[in-house]
Structure 1
Amino acid sequence: MKHNFYSFKFLISIVFASLIIGCSTDDELGINPPSIDGAQHLQDTITMGEHLLLSPKLSNSKNSIFEWIVDGEIVSNDSTYIFTPEARGTNQISLEVKNEGGEASLTYDIHTWGAFEHGFYLINEGWFGHGTGTVGFYRYDTQKIEDSVFVKTNPTKDLYPLNSTLGFGTVFNEKLYLVSKSGGPVVVSDAYSLLEEQRIPSQSGNNWRAFLGISETKGLLSSSNGIHKIDLETLAIEGTIPGISGQIGDMTKAGDYIFVLSQREGAIILNASNYEVVKRIPGMAVGFAKTQDNTIWVAGGTKLVKINPSTLEIEEIELGFKANSSWGAWHPASITASANAVFIAKNGSFSGGNEIYRYKDELVSLKEPFIKLPDTEVLYGTGLGFNPDTGQLIVRTVRDGWGENFSYNKLHFYNADSGNLEKTNSYEGYYFPAAPVFH
């Protein structure tokens, strides 16, 4: 019994000592602080109207306090957060996780695109007499075309009358300007939300062509008879530019000058401050493109013409084919430019062609077409546009022929440096494409 008693006391002593050592170890180590797996600074994007679940992977987060902070304001104490943007732009969202052992943090930079910002618009004339023109949108993230986005965004608005055609669109000063022919309206929408803000109402006798923004408060509308001055604050028409009559189409501005295309007179160059005519270049039929150095390009006959934007001196380059106009059933010109190259379509006299040429400093670049479409396809409307977002040449075609052929559409994406076809979207419907419009 004595031996057993002392053995029992010895065992108790060992257990007690072990407990003391164990408590001492816990005190020294303490509670492990929380940690966030992966990068501590992340970036993401979202589009207005969407939601984004932020759910970082956490370790040792039991009994922790969470703080989600958006632009300096605490918005949630949950372990995850659903971000719903209130406006386009960039938000900084931070997560702070704390327990008795320490803390960890994570930061997101979330850029919110406008509802119609992360992509480009597709302006469609519409089927004359059967319905008005429409506005489509190609979205970069889904790589799909969304149809009739103007009327879906503005359900109480329209582009009537039915016999009008939507021939032109452009973005100026964060506004999308939609210009109709044949009695249709001129509509101004926010370029990112597409919500309508102003309009010149439809009216018999209206026959607009294109819009050009001059300043914060001034703009120009070309028409079937002259150029109209517009107050951009009220959208009131303030008369026409004296001395210019007949059908006027495309217009652009570079430096101190405005360049307009006239059916009667070719290219007309105006002083941007007082609209006085300073130069005429007769015979021009296709314009305008503008390269990064502000050089203006126009074509007529078999010549591609380079215009110095400061001195207005011109240089003629032999195209090797006739540059046909689009006055009969007007559409924006089939010419566009990247930073240092000009692209021009070899259109037929009455319909679009299927060859696109590129001029890049050397005449040899015009010897062969840069892009040759399949024989079954032809350009329609302006047919082409350079997308500065992606460095691609966007090409719109319909099936060659008449009647039902106009219902077969293709949207091609060509590499503007190599001419390689990178993607095609095919879709059906009588859209009659006018032009792509980029932000």
Structure 2
Amino acid sequence: MNFKKSIPYLFASLSILTISSCKKDNEKALLLQPQTTESLKNNGKDSLTVNDTLLLHPKLANTKNAIYSWTVNGARTGSDSVYTFKAVNKGDFKISFKAATAGGEITVDYQIHVWDKYENGFYILNEGWFGHGTGTVSFYRYNTNKMEDSIFVKENPAKDLNPVSSTLQSGVVFKNKFYLVSKVGGPMVVTNEYNMKELARIPSQGGNDWRSFVGINETKGLLSSGKGVFPVDLNTLAIGRTIDGIGGQVGDMIKQGGYIFVLSSTDGIVILNAADNKVVKKIPGVSVGFTRTIDGNIWAAGGTKLFKINASLDVESITVPFTVFGSWGAWHPGSITASTKENAVFIAKNESFSGGTKLYKYIPGNDASLQAPFLMLPTGKILYGAGLSYNAKLDQLLVNTVQSGFGENFSVNNLYFYDPITAAIKKTVSYSGYYFPSVIVSHQ
């Protein structure tokens, strides 16, 4: 046999076998169904904020000659193996990816929630440094654990909260609107609850001394002030005549059932019929309010008493082991709040204006719960403004402090996140600046 002549034939045969084998391998690959090679994080569930982007890229095998498609809530949006989702609008989005070959297809689903710009967090309303500038609105974002400053002016660059002599003192969320209330000649501004864009305002004016807002229904609300309570038309923001029967300065207000509870410097609690604003009852001796426990009772305090008012307007008083001070000399919202998970009230032991270092927790029916402070602030820290607020989303007690002392001490700010059961500090956020925080406002 001539081996030299046989070699070309041998190579030719091997080549045919190799080509045949490769062809079969290719045909086999084409008939394999695409598969995922790793599980989706959190089962494909994720969230982001309006204007953010999210890159989606499922890891796959067996994708030779695959055809890809992406849909968002059923509408086709892409044909690549990766997709960048741009969060344009808030809401829930189902994003589906499909890879198809001759061997079959696979679908991967993502569930994405888009938060509005200032939805995934809470607000802090700051008085501002009196005489140096107006108050500001800060926002704490849950997913970044950071504080964002001056968001009202950032979202409304042509607007302001002047005059500089005014202080931004309180804020109330009502029917997807955010009511920002200023003292000392300042405006009352209405913004969108979630994006902070201004919708309307009661202009600044000498003699204005607004304190707080309470919504009654879609068209009616009340504004408290240093000289009484005024009805306000929520469509036009027109102010009505002062409500009769309420004396002195008026601060916090809250609605429960068919009643409005109003705090007066001279009358204590004045309870109004929400239908006609007529006085139903007065409860003297009260200087701090208001909060609502999960059983529907309204709570306030004054002197050495904590007051519980039920649906029938019956009053029960509980003795507390300290004197409860109001803030009529330089008013700020009351240093009292309540849990939405357990039946419990939290109240600060403030000095004559603010500056407390101890918080008490009262569990209704358990007088022993008041025998000692629930928590004491870290050394050198004191409350400022309302100082405390219960956050239902986190199930934590939020506490604002500044440094004890004067001058530069007021620029040392700490926001503490406390466990409402154990009083353990879960987190601390420190930031600098002359903010003078008045009140924390969470989405309802």
* TM-score in terms of structure 1 length: 0.94
1:355 counterpart (358, 367, 370): 358
Contact persistence 2:247–2:267 (CA under 8 A): no
Displacement of 1:214: 1.0
Match of 1:221 in 2: 223
Match of 1:326 in 2: 327
Deviation string for 1:248-286 (max 9, x for gaps)?
100001111111100010011111111111111001011
Contact persistence 1:121–1:137 (CA under 8 A): yes
Taking structure 1 as reference, are residues 67 and 260 closer, same or farther at Cα in structure 2, changes over 3 Å only?
same
1:95 counterpart (75, 94, 97): 97
Deviation string for 1:168-197 (max 9, x for gaps)?
012111111110000101111111111111
Q: Distance in 1 between matches of 2:396 and 2:420?
A: 5
Deviation string for 1:225-263 (max 9, x for gaps)?
111111112222133322223211000011111111000
Count of residues paired in the alignment: 438
Match of 1:384 in 2: 388
Q: How does 1:12-27 map to 2 (within 5 A)?
A: none
Match of 2:65 in 1: 63
Displacement of 1:300: 1.1
Contact persistence 2:69–2:78 (CA under 8 A): yes
Deviation string for 1:288-343 (max 9, x for gaps)?
010112110011110101110x2111111111111111110000000000021100
Further displaced range: 126-135 or 423-432: 423-432
2:78 counterpart (76, 94, 103): 76
The answer for unaligned runs of 5 or more in structure 1 is none
Q: Distance in 2 between matches of 1:15 and 1:98?
A: 32
Further displaced range: 377-386 or 235-244: 235-244
Further displaced range: 161-170 or 9-18: 9-18
Q: Distance in 2 between matches of 1:164 and 1:243?
A: 28
Q: Distance in 2 between matches of 1:10 and 1:396?
A: 87
Contact persistence 2:30–2:101 (CA under 8 A): no
Taking structure 1 as reference, are residues 23 and 160 closer, same or farther at Cα in structure 2, changes over 3 Å only?
closer
Q: How does 1:338-417 map to 2 (within 5 A)?
A: 338-339=339-340, 340-361=343-364, 362-417=366-421
Taking structure 1 as reference, are residues 16 and 221 closer, same or farther at Cα in structure 2, changes over 3 Å only?
closer
Q: How does 1:170-185 map to 2 (within 5 A)?
A: 170-185=172-187
Displacement of 1:17: 9.0
One-letter amino acid matched to 1:335 = I
One-letter amino acid matched to 2:32 = N
Q: Distance in 1 between matches of 2:257 and 2:344?
A: 20
1:240 is paired with a residue whose SS is coil
Taking structure 1 as reference, are residues 23 and 341 closer, same or farther at Cα in structure 2, changes over 3 Å only?
same
1:236 is paired with a residue whose SS is coil
Q: Distance in 2 between matches of 1:270 and 1:253?
A: 9
Match of 1:313 in 2: 314
Identity between Structure 1 and Structure 2 (%): 51
Q: Distance in 2 between matches of 1:252 and 1:375?
A: 34
One-letter amino acid matched to 1:37 = T
Displacement of 1:33: 1.9
Deviation string for 1:334-358 (max 9, x for gaps)?
0000021100000111332110000
Match of 2:153 in 1: 151
Q: Distance in 2 between matches of 1:10 and 1:131?
A: 93
Further displaced range: 401-410 or 30-39: 30-39
Displacement of 1:27: 6.2
Q: Distance in 1 between matches of 2:78 and 2:31?
A: 25
Contact persistence 2:227–2:248 (CA under 8 A): yes
Contact persistence 1:334–1:344 (CA under 8 A): yes
Further displaced range: 368-377 or 4-13: 4-13
Deviation string for 1:53-87 (max 9, x for gaps)?
11111112232111110111101111111111121
Contact persistence 2:183–2:208 (CA under 8 A): yes
Q: Distance in 2 between matches of 1:163 and 1:38?
A: 60
Match of 2:233 in 1: 231
One-letter amino acid matched to 1:322 = T
Contact persistence 1:217–1:231 (CA under 8 A): yes
Asked whether 1:37 is paired with 2:32, we answer no
Taking structure 1 as reference, are residues 167 and 17 closer, same or farther at Cα in structure 2, changes over 3 Å only?
closer
Two-structure CA RMSD over aligned residues (Å): 2.4
Contact persistence 1:181–1:206 (CA under 8 A): yes
Displacement of 1:204: 0.8
Contact persistence 1:169–1:176 (CA under 8 A): yes
Contact persistence 2:30–2:65 (CA under 8 A): no
* TM-score in terms of structure 2 length: 0.93
1:135 counterpart (134, 137, 159): 137
Q: Distance in 2 between matches of 1:251 and 1:152?
A: 30
Displacement of 1:406: 1.1
Match of 2:435 in 1: 431
Q: Distance in 1 between matches of 2:298 and 2:244?
A: 24
Q: Distance in 2 between matches of 1:138 and 1:25?
A: 57
Contact persistence 1:36–1:105 (CA under 8 A): no
Question: Which of structure 1's runs of 4+ aligned residues deviate more than 3 A?
Answer: 1-30, 38-41
Displacement of 1:7: 13
One-letter amino acid matched to 2:91 = G
Displacement of 1:388: 0.6
Contact persistence 2:223–2:230 (CA under 8 A): yes
Displacement of 1:408: 1.2
Contact persistence 2:184–2:210 (CA under 8 A): yes
Deviation string for 1:86-127 (max 9, x for gaps)?
211111111111111111111111001111111110100001
Q: Distance in 1 between matches of 2:114 and 2:308?
A: 40
One-letter amino acid matched to 2:153 = V
2:312 is paired with a residue whose SS is coil
Taking structure 1 as reference, are residues 2 and 326 closer, same or farther at Cα in structure 2, changes over 3 Å only?
closer
Q: Distance in 2 between matches of 1:430 and 1:130?
A: 10
Q: How does 1:203-214 map to 2 (within 5 A)?
A: 203-214=205-216
Contact persistence 2:247–2:265 (CA under 8 A): no
